[in-house]
Structure formats: C-alpha cells, structure tokens
Amino acid sequence: MYKCSVILAAGKGKRMKTKLPKVLHKVCGKELVNHVIDTLKNCDIKDINVVIGNGAEEVKRATENRNVYYSLQTEQLGTGHALICSKDFFKDKKGILTVFTGDAPLITEESVKKLMEFHVKGNYKATILTSLVEDATGYGRIIRSDSGEVEKIVEHKDCSEEELKVNEINSGMYCFDIEELVANLDKLNNNNCQGEYYLTDVIEILKNENHKVGAIDINADEIKGVNSRIQLAEAEEIMRNRINKKHMENGVTIIDPKTTYIGNEVEIGEDTIIYPGNVIEGKTIIKGDCILYPNSRIKDSIIEVGVTIQSSVILESCIGENTTVGPFAYVRPESQIGKNVRIGDFVEIKKSKIDDNTKVSHLTYIGDAEVGSGCNFGCGTVVVNYDGKHKNKTIIGDNSFIGCNVNLVSPVEVEDNTYIAAGSTITKKVPSGALAVARAKQVNKEGWMEKSGLKK
Ligand code: UD1
Ligand code: CA
C-alpha cells in the first residue's frame, strides 16, 4: 500500500521567544523537524511533504538534504488549513497519509508503524494517535461515545467542563485514508473560539459521514510537543535518556547518564567508559575500549580503539589506536593523529598529521604540519605557520627530537633523525642526521652585578 506523510511545520512558535523557526531548534544536536523526517524515513514511507510558512526558507535549507517535498502556508490559519495547503501533494494519490507535527520530535519508528498497521487492519478512514495523561492541559481531548467509539476531538479552549475531565489526549498525529480525506477536508470551518481551521474537526466530519474512526494510544513521552524552552529541555532529557540507554545496552559504560550528552548519530564501541561531562556530537565514531575521562567535547571525529581522552576538545579529526589526549588539549579540524601518540596538556593541533609513537607532551602548537613517527616535542614548541598573509606548511621527518621552546618558521622542513637544540628558531631545512642550533650564543660578563650596583 502506498504510504506518504505530511509534517506540519509552518507555525511561529511564539512561546519559544526566538528568531529561529521553532522546528529548527535542536534536541540532542538535531533539528526538531529533522528528527521527525528521519523517523518517518525509517518507516517505509515513500513521500514526505513538509508544510512551511514561518521561516520557510530557513526550514527548507535545514532539511534540503533529506529529499522531502514542500508546501507553503503563507498565513497560519490553523492545522486544518495547513493540511489543505498541502493538498496538491496528496490529492491524486491512493493509499494512506500520516500527519505529524514538526515540533514533536520524540515519536518513534515503532509507534509510526503501529499507527499505520492498526489503521489498515481495522479498515479505518482515520486513526488518531492518542495518549493517556494525568495533566491534559492545552491538548485536544478525545471524546468517545458510551460504547467507547471515537466521536470527535475537542480543543482544550473549546471544551465543556465535562470534556475538560477527559484524560485521553490528541497527539496531533494521525493516519488517513487519502481519498476520504480529500473528499472531506474542504468541509472544515473556523467556527471555534480560536477562529482557526482545526484539523481535528475532520474526525467529526468523517464520523458524520458514517466512516470508521479509530484511536490507538501510546506512551505520553512520545507525543510531547515543544512549544517553549522548558519543553525543549524536557524533550532533550527524554531523547538523551533513550540514546544513553541504547549505548549502555550495547556495552558502553556511562558513569552518569544525566550528565553525558551524546548526539543522535554517534556510534560507540563495546567496553568504552564515559565519565560525566562529556559532549559527543555529530557523526562521531568512538571505537571500543576507550576511556573518556570527564569534560571533553568531541565532534565529527573518529576515535580508534583504546584511546584515552581527558578534558579536551576534538573537532573533525581522527585519533589513532591507544593514543592519549589531554588534559586540556585542542585538536582542531582536519587533524590526523596516529597510534600510540601522546597529545598532552595545553597542546593545540590544527590541520596536521602526526604519525605513530610521536609525543607532543606539553604547551605546544602544531599547525599545518606533517609530523613523522617517533618524534619528541619538547615543552613549548611553536610551529609558526602564519606569516600574516599565508598559512605555510611544515614537514618534520621520523625520529626527530625537537627541543624545548623551539620555533619552526614555516615553510620549513626537518628531515628524519634530527635534533634541534632548545630555544632554536628554525628557518632553514635541517638535513637528516644533523643537530640544528639556531640561537644566540651565551655571553657571561664577569663581575657585572657588582659594577651595576645590583648586588645585594
Ligand atoms: C494541536 C491539536 C491538538 C493536539 C496538539 C498536540 C489542532 C487544532 N489541535 O494543538 O488537538 O492535542 O496539537 O500537540 O490541531 N501549524 C501549521 N500551520 C498552522 C497552525 C499550526 O503548520 O496554521 C503547525 C505548527 O507549526 C505545529 C503544529 O502545526 O508544528 C501544531 O500546531 P499548534 O499550534 O502547536 O497546535 P496545538 O495548539 O498544539
Ligand atoms: Ca503544539
């Protein structure tokens, strides 16, 4: 059976108090609307159409790599009006249409599939995803007949006193038979206390036509919408718990899941241990047997087996097996660190390749460089990669010993098996096997303290 979806995402999000379109706020590193799109993509749904309006261009840009269609709702006259605006997308199709909202990112694949199966099996013309909650404030209520059949949905603001007591709420997510929806959608009106075209009224219209309407309830967490920053944080917490649980089930130790922030797309191998305060983002892959001591940020990086990281920032880089990073290291984009390397405290690496077994233990900057294996950097080495106009490259061969406080003025090359004396400023190539000394000779002026009157 043909399956398609519409995601309503044209609303303003007044209560968020934001310049950004509401659906582009992020939960666990991903935009609200993209969570919904990605979930639907995993449910064998062929076409997805997003109704955009507020911040239409921005929403388009943020979703464009996901291969969805768009309809424009220029004026936000209600959820029913939003669906009417997308009629061109589905009006000539046969099959089922599911509707979701761009501000409810917690819906799971299982529930989407369950909704569609329930709808098809029960031969319904419309099926509502609902939830039983303690506090139904703000939600539309599911009104059932004495025999338990769904009659209609009444918006909170339109509820009678009796209806307000109902604790089965409308998630704003539905499954429709496309042909019946098309035949009845234009019957919506805006005779209600908000003066809006409510999509929810379609249910009563279908019932009046003697069509079968169903409802299936799911866990309340899944239908939570984000209307405010407080709800954004609540959604983040629920999503964070889900992600962390998944990793723990896969054999990752997370010492304190409450303070561990792992993005949706991160992969982590078995027996890796994660201490509190780590933020792991983007398309990061962390292999097994790593230890992430507290307080690192790792983004879009690959961390190989057995790496130890502590209180560091690693961006768009690769860290090889059994290497240690930090505390307080900064590995900037496009860096490739080999195996058994040591990147120590207050070391910054930028767009550089560092080969196996090299040690950069403290207070060093390496930028735009290629460093061989088995090298040792003394404390305070600086690769002087920028001359004020251009970034220049430095090449350092294998097994070089770079003394403390050395400047390597780029572009410059240091060949294999070399030794650079501490305090040198290197501006010329150092040939293999050489010792390079590039600093002023020491002069001792005997008796100078006495003569200058400084002696105590
Ligand atoms: C809606 C439902 C309510 C349900 C609740 C669940 C209606 C009338 N009410 O209420 O029964 O309990 O969701 O969260 O449908 N949107 C548009 N264009 C518009 C209006 C809204 O695209 O003209 C989009 C919004 O961007 C949002 C979604 O539709 O993503 C829901 O709209 P919202 O105003 O938040 O509806 P609720 O009042 O929450
Ligand atoms: Ca809402």
Task: Calculate Rg over the CA atoms of the chain.
Answer: 31
Does ligand 1 lie within 6 Å of residue 298's CB atom? no
Q: Considering the chain, tell me which residue range(s) the CATH 3.90.550.10 domain(s) occupy.
A: 3-223
pLDDT at 270: 98
Q: Which residues in 295-322 are b (16+ Cβ under 10 Å) and which e?
A: bbbbbbbbbbbbbbbbbbbbbbbbbbbb
Per the listing, tokens 């003025």 go with 409
What would the DSSP string read from start to end of 364-410? EEEESEEE-SS-EEPTT-EEE-B-SS-B--EEE-TT-EE-TT-EEES
User: What topology is assigned to 3-223 in CATH?
Assistant: Spore Coat Polysaccharide Biosynthesis Protein SpsA; Chain A (3.90.550)
Q: Which ligand has the nearest atom to the CA of 21? A: 1
Q: Which of 35, 119, 362, 390 is catalytic?
A: 362
Establish whether 139 is an annotated binding residue.
no
C-beta 85 within 6 A of ligand 1 = no
Q: pLDDT tens digit string along 316-348?
A: 999 999 999 999 999 999 999 999 999 999 999
332 marked ligand binding residue: yes
Ligand 1 and 244: CB distance under 6 A: no
Residue 197 binned pLDDT confidence (cut-offs 50, 70, 90):
very high
pLDDT of residue 94: 97
> How far away, in angstroms, is 82 Cα from ligand 1 center?
9
| 194 in Cβ contact with 78 (< 8 Å) | yes
Which DSSP symbol is given to 442?
P
Tens digits of residue pLDDT in 160-189: 999 999 999 999 999 999 999 999 999 999
Rounded Cα gap, residues 350 and 384, in angstroms: 12
Measured from the CB, is residue 11 less than 6 Å from ligand 1?
yes
pLDDT band (50, 70, 90) for residue 350: very high
Angle formed at CA 157 by CA 155 and CA 163, multiple of 5 degrees: 65
- Mean pLDDT score across all residues of the chain: 97
- Which ligand places an atom closest to the C-alpha of 83? 1
Q: Give 377-414 pLDDT, tens digit per residue.
A: 999 999 999 999 999 999 999 999 999 999 999 999 99
Question: Does residue 59 contact residue 92 with C-beta atoms inside 8 Å?
Answer: no
Which pLDDT belongs to residue 13? 85
pLDDT in tens, 221-264: 999 999 999 999 999 999 999 999 999 999 999 999 999 999 99
Query: Is 66 a residue whose pLDDT tops 90?
Result: yes
| Structure token digits, residue 430 | 């150092």
Q: Is 99 in the pocket of ligand 1 (CB under 6 A)?
A: no
What's CA 18's distance to the chain center, in Å?
Answer: 19
Is 439 known to sit in a ligand binding site? yes
- Give the model's pLDDT for residue 182: 98
C-alpha 103 – ligand 2 centre gap (Å): 7
Q: Reply yes or no on whether the pLDDT at 206 is more than 90.
A: yes
Is 362 among the catalytic positions?
Answer: yes
CATH 2.160.10.10 boundaries in the chain: 250-436
Ligand 1 nearest atom to the CA of residue 225, by list position: 14
pLDDT computed for residue 21 by the predictor: 95
Distance between Cα 230 and ligand 1 center (Å): 18
Neighbours of 332 (CB within 10 A): 16
Helix axes 56-63, 32-41, angle to 10 degrees: 50
Predicted confidence at residue 14, as pLDDT, reads: 87
pLDDT band at 290 (very low <50, low <70, confident <90, very high): very high
Is 90 exceeded by the pLDDT of residue 12? Answer: no
If one looks up domain 250-436 in CATH, what number appears? Answer: 2.160.10.10
Which of 18, 79, 226 maximizes ligand 1 atoms within 8 Å of its Cβ, making it the mutation to test the pocket? 79
Identify the pLDDT of residue 329. 98
Q: Is 444 annotated as a binding residue?
A: no
Q: What number is the average pLDDT over the span 190-212?
A: 96
Question: Is 65 strand, coil or helix?
Answer: helix
Q: Quick one: pLDDT at residue 33?
A: 98
Q: Is 82 annotated as a binding residue?
A: no
